Structure 1
């Protein structure tokens, strides 16, 4: 499930080269995905950045309606920012597109076997997090909705409200409302302080 046809076609070709794997359906949006899983696949590969939908929301919906379905997130987004959220949403694994060619078959077999797939670096990061008391910042970030989290992430990458609105296929007014909610939840007084916070947060990951 990816909103880029070339990526869907390339991944389909790669997987169909292996005799024990067969792609039964593809989709470019959350709506198409929910219709496509009628073919009863064993595994869904989901991108976080769909054209007008949140991949994390799609993962939650798939997990709710298909509790036995194996779900692997394949994304361009940094795993240190999104892997844990993907797992909390119901994914069984997280793989970045930059390393997909080398590791995707291993990731697929791991999640189909009922295991969790993460990179070695991400496994180590989560293990360290279990042994170190969480900072107040982490708790505050955790209070954000998935959409607010996306907006905060894009602010930290330097995108303007209009650019974020275009990326998420939402109105500027909606993005500004999300920003207001973020400032309230994180007790940040101004837009300038929000940008500084977002940049520092991304750099600290």
Structure 2
């Protein structure tokens, strides 16, 4: 008899969550035992349901799903996490792995990619797309040659998000609206980024952010 693998799905979009349930439960040995839309709901579900593997979206309303990944990693290390997101893996996959996830799958990928990722994780392996694996290898080689530090190694998840939006041409007010935060808070994040990356002023930071975003689009 095959062992049943039990899933928790954490996503605040009901239709997408329903689609994930359908994809997962189409496999006879997979069973969704809990669903959640927020971090609090997810932690409550973990206290009540048996779960082997959690599928977690990064964007949970105003919350960051990677914080949930970190919590699960520290408090329930036997539960494996897969991050599923609309955000570009070239920017966020590294942060997801550092938070404790074992795989990163973009939402626009085919269902077969998710099932492949699940199988990789169940076998104790890490899953990333071929493009992402190559990008990480290239980045490692470049760092060895230039001894540059990747910004995501120094910045918090929210700071990376602000840096990404700066690099995409958004102003401080637009970033505040996008992240549903105050302009004052965004300015604090921006100052923290400058300090951590040793960048002299806001103009130099914007130039750096644009270059960084472009380098991750290759």
Deviation at 1:30, TM superposition (A): 1.4
Deviation at 1:25, TM superposition (A): 1.3
Aligned-pair Cα RMSD in Å: 1.9
Task: State the distance in 2 between where 1:53 and 1:83 align.
Answer: 17
Aligned to 2:213: 202
Aligned to 1:180: 191
Farther-moved stretch of structure 1 (102-111 vs 165-174): 165-174
Aligned to 2:30: 21
Aligned to 1:5: 14
Deviation at 1:32, TM superposition (A): 1.4
Task: State the distance in 2 between where 1:16 and 1:73 align.
Answer: 18
SS of 2:149's equivalent in the other structure is helix
SS of 1:166's equivalent in the other structure is helix
Q: Given that residues 95 and 118 in structure 1 are in contact (C-alpha distance below 8 angstroms), is that contact kept between their aligned partners in structure 2?
A: yes
* Residues 171-197 of structure 1: CA deviation (Å, up to 9, x unaligned): 221111101111122222332322221
Which structure has greater helix proportion?
1
State which of 50, 55, 67 in structure 2 corresponds to 1:57.
67
Which runs of 5 or more residues in structure 1 are unaligned?
A: none
Q: Is 1:89 the counterpart of 2:99 in the alignment?
A: yes
SS of 2:30's equivalent in the other structure is coil
How do residues 53-202 of structure 1 correspond to structure 2 at under 5 angstroms?
A: 53-132=63-142, 133=144, 135-202=146-213
Deviation at 1:42, TM superposition (A): 0.7
SS of 1:22's equivalent in the other structure is strand
SS of 2:54's equivalent in the other structure is strand
Task: State the distance in 2 between where 1:169 and 1:134 align.
Answer: 39
Which structure has greater strand proportion?
2
Change (3 A) 1:166 1:9: farther
Count the aligned residue pairs. Answer: 205
Task: State the distance in 1 between where 2:214 and 2:148 align.
Answer: 13
Aligned to 1:33: 42
Deviation at 1:137, TM superposition (A): 4.3
Task: State the distance in 2 between where 1:43 and 1:65 align.
Answer: 14
SS of 1:91's equivalent in the other structure is coil
Provide the TM-score with structure 2 as the length reference.
Answer: 0.86
Deviation at 1:127, TM superposition (A): 3.0
Which runs of 5 or more residues in structure 2 are unaligned?
A: 1-9
